[in-house]
Amino acid sequence: MNFKVVKDAFIIAALKSLPDLKRNPSMMILIGLISAFPLFFIIVFGGQVSNGLVGAMIATISFIGLAAAIQDISFDRYVKIREMIVAMPVHPVAYAMGVAMAPFFISAPGLVLFICIAIAIGALPLLSIGWTVVALILCWAAGSSIGFIISTYLRKASVYTLNNMGTILGLGLVFLPPVYYPEEMLGGYRWISMVFPTSNAAGLIRFYAGLTKIPAETVLLRWLILAATVVVSVIILSFKARWRED
Amino acid sequence: MEAVETEDLFKTYGGKEPVQALRGVNLSIKKGELFTLLGLNGAGKTTFLRIVSTQLSSTRGTVHVLGHDVLAEANEVKKHIAVVPQDVQTYSNFTPWEYCYYFSLLRGMSRSRTIEVSEKALKAVELWDLRNRTCVGLSGGEKKRAIIATALASDADVLLLDEPTSGLDAVARRKVWAVLRELVEQGRTILLTTHIMEEAEMLSDRLAIINKGNVIAEGSLDEVKGLAKEKFRVVVEGNLRDLTLKNQNHVSKFGNKQIIYVGDEDEGLELVRTALKKGLRAEIARITLEDVFVKLVGGIEDN
């Protein structure tokens, strides 16, 4: 990957985030609020705030990453901005990375806030921050990659269909698996949490934060599954994603 | 070396019922000229432009832009082209300045060069005063000009513009025309598609008419107009039964008005005189590009 690809990715990320942030800064608060919303119920109904904060972190990064990957690309196709970019000396990887990074920029303040709160209340030991960040990055990468696969394979779907799909899938991946709640609640079906990148990353963060106990070999397996989700998604994408249409 | 050269270009869209969009198109567009591609909806204009701009694969044939093959050397081609797609829309939260700025940065320009070309392009399309207004607050014409400014700011040698003035009012359209001609005078090459015949007449150095994927006419405006055997048109308002037409003239009828195509000026003047004597309104003019276009694509029936 050369320097121009990285530079272009940052330009596209800036293009897709800075005007939004400049004119609509409240969207940062909105994204944080959506992710923090379940915390309200967790607190009211006596759940563990520490588990909820892990969920809020994952939701902030993965929901917006996945939804943006689907919605931004389908919207760019709809308004034909994509046609202008395809005809420019921009690598498709730079475009994909830029589209994925833009929501990362927008959601970063919310994410930092949740991490700070988690540290402040003792839910996230300082020593676990490194692993937490790596898990969050992989979760974001997996969510974005899945989003890219959907928008690439459903090229002919309308922008409205893809928008709805992005939102439904994003919400589904964040609220159904054990992201806001501990995976122990699934009992014998606890393994399900490893299937979804969101709950898998949440489980890893909880493990490093000391909120749950997972055998060492399972921790390794979880990292492998999370990394494999990203790698497999990228491989699938590389087969189908083409700058030039057939 | 030509700016754009296609040889035996075919494009078939697959699916249950394959559609042949291009059927052996051979076109050669010289450097520094404004070349217009005319055609009915679905004639293949956009397909042609998308293949030239590296967005779409051809089924057969070759395309070269400034000597570079669009398939084998797409990255090299992309350095030299800028595209305004058909029906392109804007991000509502973007300003014209941001369009020019970010898209120029993506072309690899330095920041100072980006600022310079963005300013120049926005001034050229008369959007400088509105450069910091978001697109949601701009008129349709202003949004279109913002996109055109993005292409202008690219410094690209070849501009591929797919119906760039569609939806613009006459004043906005003419402003764009002036900009395009100015660019050609500066040495840029423009490949334009349009439905507006006056636009093609006013702007084109050369043009081609494409119909059902085939180029059916190509040349300068005079050369293309020369393809029609009728050289003049007489517009008559009133009942045509009062006139006796010779030579099996072609007639296009629109309610009470009709266009009668005649071979030469004398025949036309005679027709006007006769019509006036019968109390009908009549006027003669040279045939327009639109007349020739409609005739060539089969839109004029014999009288």
* Tens digit of each residue's pLDDT (9 = 90 or more) over B215-247: 999 999 999 999 988 899 999 998 777 676 766
Q: How confident is the model at residue B300 (pLDDT cuts 50, 70, 90)?
A: low
Check residue A80 and report its DSSP letter. Answer: T
Give pLDDT tens digits for A150-196: 888 887 788 888 888 888 888 888 889 999 888 888 888 888 899 99
Weakest mean pLDDT among A1-15, A155-169, A223-237: A155-169
Rounded to two decimals, the ipTM of the complex is: 0.83
| Nearest by CB: B89 against A12, A80, A90 | A80
Measured between beta carbons, which residues in chain A are less than 8 angstroms from residue B93? 19-20, 23-24
Mean pLDDT over B281-295 rounds to 93
Domains of chain B by start residue, with CATH: 4-225 (3.40.50.300), 232-286 (no CATH)
Q: Does A156 touch chain B (CB under 8 A)?
A: no
The pair of structure tokens assigned to B7 is: 């040889």
The answer to whether B106 contacts A86, with C-beta atoms less than 8 Å apart, is no
* Higher per-residue confidence, A164 vs B206: B206
**Which amino acid is present at B282?**
A
Q: Which of A17, A18, A27, A86 to mutate to test the interface with B (most CBs of B within 10 A)?
A: A86
Give pLDDT tens digits for A68-95: 778 788 888 888 888 899 899 998 888 8
Q: How far is B275 from B281, CA to CA, in rounded Å? A: 7
Q: Does A8 touch chain B (CB under 8 A)?
A: yes
SS (H, E, C) chain B: CCCEEEEEEEEEECCCCCEEEEEEEEEEECCCCEEEEEECCCCCHHHHHHHHCCCECCCEEEEEECCEECCCCHHHHHHHEEEECCCCCCCCCCCHHHHHHHHHHHCCCCHHHHHHHHHHHHHHCCCHHHCCCCHHHCCHHHHHHHHHHHHHCCCCCEEEEECCCCCCCHHHHHHHHHHHHHHHHCCCEEEEEECCHHHHHHHCCEEEEEECCEEEEEECHHHHHCCCCCCEEEEEECCHHHCCCCCCCEEEEECCEEEEEECCHHHHHHHHHHHHHCCCEEEEEECCHHHHHHHHCCCCCCC
Give pLDDT, residue B299.
Answer: 63
Measured between beta carbons, which residues in chain B are less than 8 angstroms from residue A159? none
Q: What strand order describes the sheet that includes B257-262?
A: B250-254, B257-262, B232-237, B281-286
The answer to whether A83 contacts B85, with C-beta atoms less than 8 Å apart, is yes
pLDDT at residue A5 above 60?
yes
Instruction: Give the pTM.
Output: 0.86
Q: How many CB contacts within 8 angstroms connect chain A with chain B?
A: 88
Q: What strand order describes the sheet that includes B4-13?
A: B19-29, B4-13, B60-65, B68-69
Q: How confident is the model at residue B2 (pLDDT cuts 50, 70, 90)?
A: very high
Q: Does A130 touch chain B (CB under 8 A)?
A: no
The answer to whether B88 contacts A79, with C-beta atoms less than 8 Å apart, is yes
Q: Does A240 touch chain B (CB under 8 A)?
A: no
* Higher per-residue confidence, A76 vs B300: A76
**A117, HSE (Cβ side, Cα atoms, 13 Å):** 18
The answer to whether A19 contacts B93, with C-beta atoms less than 8 Å apart, is yes
| Nearest by CB: B55 against A15, A90, A244 | A244
Measured between beta carbons, which residues in chain B are less than 8 angstroms from residue A245? 50, 55-57
Q: How confident is the model at residue B13 (pLDDT cuts 50, 70, 90)?
A: very high
